[in-house]
Amino acid sequence: MRDLAPRVLGAGPRTVDLTVALLVQAAVTMPFVVPRAPELPEATWTAYGLTTLTVLPLVARRRAPVAALIVVLLAGGLYKFAVDGPGQPLPYAGLVAFYTVAELSSPLKRLAITVLTAVAVLFSVGLDSSEIRELLFSLFVFAAAYAFGRFTVTRKAYLNAVEDRARQLELTHRIETEQAAVRERTRIAREMHDILSHAVSLMIVQAEAGPVAVRTAPERAEAAFDAISETGRDAMVQLRRMLGVLRENESAPDAPREPQPSLAELPALIARARGSGLEIPYEVTGPVRTLGLAVEATVHRIVQEALTNVVKHAAADMVSVHLAYGTEALTLTITDDGRGSGTGAGTGTGTGMGLIGIRERAAAHGGTAVTGPGPGGRGFRVRVTIPQADTRTGVGS
């Protein structure tokens, strides 16, 4: 029995119509099989056949609801006038057919059929008992059938709207998921670019200087090779940290999604960059305050990228890093004395992937990144400003 309901609910329209017709046939058969008083008319096969004739149109009620109702009314009239058989407690077939008209027909057809049915009810009751009680009851049951038909239309429209809403939400969720995946890929690519570009650039510079130093100043060559080793180890640590966090996110989606270098690591970063031969003064001004992990990571990565660009493209002797804690914003300025023009990512064109990454990181905190020539048109300067509100909240990068 528990499996019967899903099968019936999942059946096609024709199966449902046939099932309804069989149920109505069973209902109209009861007066013919129940024992009758001797003074009542005899239940004949002719009367039963005409009763069945009122049920048969229900099989096609969805395809032709108006025609099915008219046939049911005509068959009922024929039964009433042609035979003197058992009566029915309710006009089952007529109610089902009238319900179908209310559900499936146009407003004009519904109006015409409602008038026709009301006339048929008035005529039938007038010939039968002419009692007002019977008339009111008959009109009530047909009105209820009509109301249920219209309620079914409203319910279907509501369910369709709910399903459409669910589809829209699913589509929106899919789009948002895809957009989030694109943002995540962009973030990972930016992190990988910053880590590898910085490390590889420093290693190349050190490696190129190593053979010359071996011949002229062996102690400097040893320092250069030590710097290469230290830079490589640091890059490996950062890559392992990033990959480890990504692996953790597969089993814990709510875990932090990125490695978080902090400002405490900035002196070490600058020290490694000095190993390339650059002079790098580092200055912090203003009342130091807590920035939050996300903002600190952003500042660290911006300094890392800017130094990488200087090492790769600027041919500079000195690059200054200035971090200013203002009352309204945090300002980071990196200025070099290099050539300041050309086609590299760290040059005045401002179109390299490194500078794009710097702008994206600043924009993620509601800040700005301005790049261009340094003071007096010499060298190149990167100035990043992050609003104070964002440095307090530490919005993610």
Work out the end-to-end distance of the chain between its first and last CA atoms, rounded to an integer number of angstroms.
58
d(CA 65, CA 103): 9
In single-letter form, the type of residue at position 276 comes to S
Stretch among 11-20, 214-223, 388-397 having the lowest mean pLDDT: 388-397
The amino acid at residue 56 is L
Higher per-residue pLDDT: 76 or 252: 76
Helices (H), the chain: 4-9, 13-33, 45-55, 65-82, 92-104, 107-128, 132-216, 218-251, 266-274, 293-309, 353-363, 388-393
Q: What is the pLDDT of residue 4?
A: 45
Structural domain boundaries of the chain? 4-130, 263-397
Average pLDDT, the chain: 77
Distance CA 260, CA 268 (A): 15
Domain 263-397 falls in which CATH fold?
Answer: Heat Shock Protein 90 (3.30.565)
What integer is the mean pLDDT of 311-336?
Answer: 89
Least confident of 138-142, 200-204, 240-244: 240-244
Identify the band that residue 240 occupies on the pLDDT scale cut at 50, 70 and 90: low
pLDDT digits (tens, 9 = 90+) for 357-393: 788 888 888 899 998 888 888 889 999 999 876 555 4
Q: What proportion of the chain, given as a percentage, has pLDDT over 90?
A: 9
Q: What is the pLDDT of residues 139-193, one digit of tens each?
A: 888 889 889 989 998 999 999 999 889 888 888 888 887 887 777 777 777 777 6
What is residue 5's predicted lDDT score, i.e. its pLDDT? 43
Residue 170 dihedral angles phi and psi, to the nearest 5°: -65, -40
**What is the mean predicted confidence (pLDDT) over 241-267?**
62
Q: In the structure encoding, which two tokens stand for residue 347, read together?
A: 């040059």
Nearest residue to 306 (alpha-carbon basis) of 208, 192, 388, 201: 201
User: What Rg, from alpha-carbon coordinates, does the chain have?
Assistant: 43
Cβ neighbors of 29 (< 8 A, separation 6 or more) are 48, 51
Least confident range of 26-40, 92-106, 163-177: 26-40
pTM of the model: 0.47
Q: Which residue has the higher pLDDT, 83 or 48?
A: 48
